[in-house]
Amino acid sequence: MNRMSHDLVLIVDFGSQVTQLIARRVREAGVYCEIHPFSRAGEAFARLEPKAVIFSGGPASVPEPGSPRAPAEIYKSGVPILAICYGQQTLCEQLGGKVEGGHAAEFGRAEVEILAPSALFDGVWQTGGRYPVWMSHGDRVTRLPEGFRVYAVSENAPYAVAADEARRYYTTMFHPEVVHTPDGARLIGNFLHKISGLKGDWTMAAFRNEEIARIRAKVGKSRVICGLSGGVDSAVAAVLIHEAIGDQLTCVFVDHGLLRQGEADEVVSLFRGHFNIPLAHVDAADEFLQALAGVEDPEAKRKTIGKLFIDVFDAEARRIASDGRGPVEFLAQGTLYPDVIESVSFSGGPSATIKSHHNVGGLPQRMRMKLVEPLRELFKDEVRALGRELGLPEAFVGRHPFPGPGLAVRCPGAVTREKLDILRQADAIYLDEIRKAGLYDKIWQAFAVLLPVRTVGVMGDGRTYDSVVALRAVTSVDGMTADFYPFDMAFLGRAATRIINEVKGVNRVVYDVTSKPPGTIEWE
């Protein structure tokens, strides 16, 4: 099945760190979209034949020579365009307007005043009203192209919203895609449905049926192996593939000894019991801990874990292929759309460093297998929705994100069994208290970290010299930005008291109130 059977939006990426949020808002409105860098947007536009186009923001300056531009064929096509921030500037400059630097910049929260009604605001903003938005610009448009009219202004953006409604070109200086613009998703929805006339038929039920057909067509009668990490992504991929091809799939779960408490048993029980999917469980904890002995640098840990994971997985794949049922020709991975986007980003993207463990980049060519990546068009929230569609238990689908390197990156310094045991127990108590308080689903991610320091304390009538555990909990809508969860002191007191009393080797607990800035990908 072709995704182009749905209405499709092309997002032209000019390098904004929140471009992925545009795609998420479009998908949330029930419309399928793809992100392509400006340098490849012409080819993507011709191939995809989108019904509408959105230009992202970006870090470049339009007046600078060689700064990015949108392909001319987009303007010639007559499709509706929504241009955001840098997108507004390059659209205006390409159509005969003027962009200048040297004016007052505008970063963070701002207010726009609505000067005239527009289809973009229909049912959302009223003429004469003032509404909060999120700005992030230095340059500004100083002359609009012919046919454009100003619809909203802010203190430092005389063309906060400008449009040529006859050509269905709408531009905003602010970012409607971020949660800091409270009505932004509704504005994007107006552009998609009221202005562009798109149907909004992109659903997880439709994706499920189409992807099953695609998997069957690609795999045929061949065998597939899928590596399970214990996380949501690989689990959903495995269940979807099993629904498509049944026992042609074998899952491989490599237990590297760096999982949360009870997690290995949960994975095995879910796949062998609940779904009855063939599963090879490889206990390789000793090998991984030996390889990590004395390794302190977090990036070195990731690469050590990734290399050994591949070696163990490769050996198990060869064993499975020798069972007399024929060779294994396909490898299934839980690759997600953000990984795909960053792999082709014109700026290179930060994923090569941030996600350098075994979940990204595939396996080496020596394995001679073709890839099946059924989730490569989905964001994390869509994967969760697909998991529910497939019948995965809510406790599994709704679990907090967990990094591929596991507890190794939450145990700064060298990894030892003793440290891992302390961390597992502390983490389990913390999450147990969060669940008892009814807060688990209100928090995007929560976990404990074993800090690489020891402190002197007094417990009872004696002194101790033991470890410090830090607790983290953040709220987030999209995983791109996050803020610490505001626990009350009574909760923190209960959690800390239990950890100190029940976990031998801990005498102090602290709470991390760090926020997560825009554009970062993973919180570990």
Q: For residue range 268-316, what is the model confidence (pLDDT) as tens digits? A: 988 888 888 999 999 999 999 999 999 999 899 999 998 898 888 888 8
For all residues of the chain together, what is the average pLDDT? 88
| Catalytic site includes residue 64 | no
CB atoms within 10 A of CB 401: 16
pLDDT at residue 274, as a whole number:
83
- Using alpha carbons, select from 142, 200, 199, 194 the residue that is nearest to residue 168: 194
pLDDT at residue 342, as a whole number:
65
Give the Cα separation of 131 and 425 in Å (integer): 47
Residue 357 pLDDT exceeds 60: no
Residue 108 pLDDT exceeds 80: no
pLDDT at residue 44, as a whole number:
95
Q: For residue range 56-86, what is the model confidence (pLDDT) as tens digits? A: 999 899 999 999 999 999 999 999 999 999 9
- Choose from 365-369, 377-381, 502-506 the range with maximum mean pLDDT: 502-506
The residue-averaged pLDDT of 436-455 equals 93
The residue-averaged pLDDT of 190-194 equals 97
Give the Cα separation of 22 and 11 in Å (integer): 8
Rounded percentage of the chain residues whose pLDDT exceeds 70 = 90
**Lookup result for tokens 């050590």:** 304
Confidence (pTM): 0.81
34, 93, 106, 177: which is the annotated catalytic residue?
177
Per-residue pLDDT band for 355 (boundaries 50, 70, 90) equals very low
Give the Cα separation of 21 and 40 in Å (integer): 20
Q: For residue range 465-492, what is the model confidence (pLDDT) as tens digits? A: 889 999 999 988 666 667 899 999 999 9
Residue 186 pLDDT exceeds 90: yes
Residue 352 pLDDT exceeds 80: no
Per-residue pLDDT band for 361 (boundaries 50, 70, 90) equals very low
6, 36, 137, 175: which is the annotated catalytic residue?
175
With contact defined as beta carbons under 8 Å apart, do 31 and 202 qualify? yes
| Catalytic site includes residue 226 | no
pLDDT at residue 363, as a whole number:
56
Per-residue pLDDT band for 351 (boundaries 50, 70, 90) equals very low
- Choose from 336-350, 366-380, 427-441 the range with maximum mean pLDDT: 427-441
| Catalytic site includes residue 6 | no
CB atoms within 10 A of CB 268: 16
Q: For residue range 220-264, what is the model confidence (pLDDT) as tens digits? A: 999 999 988 878 899 999 999 999 999 999 999 999 999 999 989
**What is each CA distance from 99 to 36, 80, 297, 383, 440, in whole angstroms?**
24, 22, 46, 40, 47
CB atoms within 10 A of CB 440: 18
pLDDT at residue 4, as a whole number:
53
34, 36, 85, 382: which is the annotated catalytic residue?
85
